[in-house]
Amino acid sequence: MPQSESEWANAFPWSLSYRWGHSALAVDFDLSGDTARLVRVRRPGDPEEVEADVLLPLVDAVLLGEGSGRSRPPFTGSVLGERLRYRAHRSTLEAEGGAGVRWHRLVVELRDPESGVAAFVEFASPDGVCVLRSRVRLCNEGDAPVTVRSLGSLLLGGLPSPAELMVSQGRDEWLAECPWSADGRFTMGALRCRTDARTWLWQIESASSGVGEAGEAAGRTYLALGGPAPGERQGGEVLEPGAEFASGWVALALGTGFDGALAELTAYRRVRVGGGFSRSSPRP
């Protein structure tokens, strides 16, 4: 399948694994089967986790009148997410902002044949920075209005088991380490592996209230980021035919220890405001 820059790829009915990223970031997808899935996000050279028995759908969205599909917190295992079918993907590499920074971008396009809702999963990462930025846009390509009750920005499963992780959570710039919690809601947080200090640090970039949730699925940990959460918009967001709605952006940084992940997130923030990035020490 063609995977070159600015080239759309058509779906195939057999197994399709797709790796996207750059020298500092590797993102693996499973685009085969009935449901597209995000398999793993890691740094090149990090150990590849054994594929989880249960892989979460690439998109988590709930429409009015449809349940989540499973007894899990919001943003995981939605009926719509399982119905969305892979349609195409497109990758680009563009120079943006100051100091000649190049951004890698990927859009994965999905569509639900039942409701007519199309999902455009947007990923971005500055070249050489181990940060994944993500959001989801929904477009009603059907003939009747639909109401969106919730829409996640990033759903990542297959992380180490809860017993192997410590959670840091907080709001804004404040983080505090605490014992494992499967139902916490916070706008900034981190998961740190006890055995090798691998750390996943995230921030919710939406101006409105968003949520971050960490929980357990099939003995592994999943991370669900984004919003708005169910109930935050009275009655949900109504999409007339042809209308669109997007979740807020989220950013996930990877590093060794909290300081290593924070260094990546800081480099990403500097790129976002239009400057270049530099590190006084090698990447952990």
What are 139-157's pLDDT values in tens digits?
A: 999 999 999 988 999 999 9
Higher pLDDT, 258 or 100: 258
**65: nearest Cα among 147, 152, 141:** 147
d(CA 80, CA 114): 9
- Please give the pLDDT value at position 71: 46
Domain count for the chain: 1
Are the C-beta atoms of residues 174 and 186 closer than 8 Å to each other? no
Is the bond into 47 cis (omega within 30 degrees of 0)?
A: no
pTM of the model: 0.84
- Please give the pLDDT value at position 209: 62
Residue 279 lies in a domain: no
Enclosing domain of residue 160: 15-272
Residue 10 lies in a domain: no
Residue 283 lies in a domain: no
Residue 277 lies in a domain: no
Residue 40 lies in a domain: yes
Q: Is 232 a residue whose pLDDT tops 60?
A: no
With tokens 């930025």, the residue in question is 133
Q: Are strands 61-63 and 146-159 parallel, antiparallel or unpaired?
A: antiparallel
Confidence of residue 186 (pLDDT cuts 50, 70, 90): low
Residue 157 lies in a domain: yes
Per-residue pLDDT, averaged over 198-219, amounts to: 82
The top-scoring range by mean pLDDT among 43-57, 177-191, 260-274 is 260-274
Q: What is the DSSP letter of 228?
A: P
Question: What is the CATH classification number for the domain harbouring 50?
Answer: 2.70.98.60
Higher pLDDT, 184 or 158: 158
Residue 20 lies in a domain: yes
Q: Is 16 a residue whose pLDDT tops 60?
A: yes
The top-scoring range by mean pLDDT among 46-60, 177-191, 210-224 is 210-224
Residue 5 lies in a domain: no
